[in-house]
Structure 1
């Protein structure tokens, strides 16, 4: 009887430990207005505007619709962001915040992943996928 109790307890503990390890690295929702999320979103926007040479106008953040973080070998900020085209030229600005929106609206819905490694003072836009919504 004692052996069966030991087997049952060991099996239960093993199941619990396995469930804990499945949670490691799983993305979880965070407030979109937190300072870390806003920093990551601004970084992604800057990288997007620098790489977006096809459009002569810079974009700025209209809304962060979803924000998640994932702890890996650093921190992934997984962002769903709505961008709006501004009147500022891409080549003439580094910060699109003071720019007004373009008179001919163009909005993009973007999925960004920013990977930050704080102990190396490193931040990289590891994924950007955008599509026009109007």
Structure 2
């Protein structure tokens, strides 16, 4: 019964999950970094990061998602390692950094994000947010 619940939750979240006999319920497992759910969670985390760091003059956007895991709990945890790059857009001007060009004085952050999605409530929360300058230890 639990396996059907997991499949239903993941299907409604738009992610593809391979169910293995050796996967423990609640155990995080790797998923493709370009899957729909992962990209959606990473974009959500980036917007929240920019909003929470309004004192930073420039907004950041995703350079790449370096790893992604999901964990089925009372919802879905997306556990993400993401590289962000500083843009020319002001933090206060936009939440859509897609059209923003990268800053001429590069600054990259390496971030660990955990986004908890509850698909049946149509809600997402950034539950962990830890970023460091690229090259420093997390």
Short-chain TM bin? 0.7 to 0.9
Larger radius of gyration: 1
Matches of 1:104 and 1:41 in 2, distance apart?
A: 24
Q: Report the Cα distance in structure 1 between the residues aligned to 2:92 and 2:49, rounded to whole angstroms.
A: 13
* Alignment partner, residue 13 of structure 2: none
Higher helix share: 1
Please give the secondary structure, in 1, of the residue aligned with 2:51. helix
TM-score (norm 1): 0.82
Matches within 5 A, 1:31-110: 31-110=32-111
TM-score (ref. length: structure 2):
0.80
Distance across 2 between alignment mates of 1:54 and 1:89: 10
Distance 2:60 2:25 in 1: 35
Shift of 1:54: 2.5
Q: How many matched pairs?
A: 115
Partner of 2:15: none
Unaligned residue ranges in structure 1 (runs of 5+): 1-19
Gaps of at least 5 residues in structure 2 are: 1-20
Distance in 2 separating the partners of 1:83 and 1:21: 34
**Residue in structure 2 matched with residue 132 of structure 1 by the alignment:** 133
Aligned to 1:6: none
Q: CA deviation at 1:21?
A: 9.7
Across the aligned residues of Structure 1 and Structure 2, the Cα RMSD in angstroms comes to 1.5
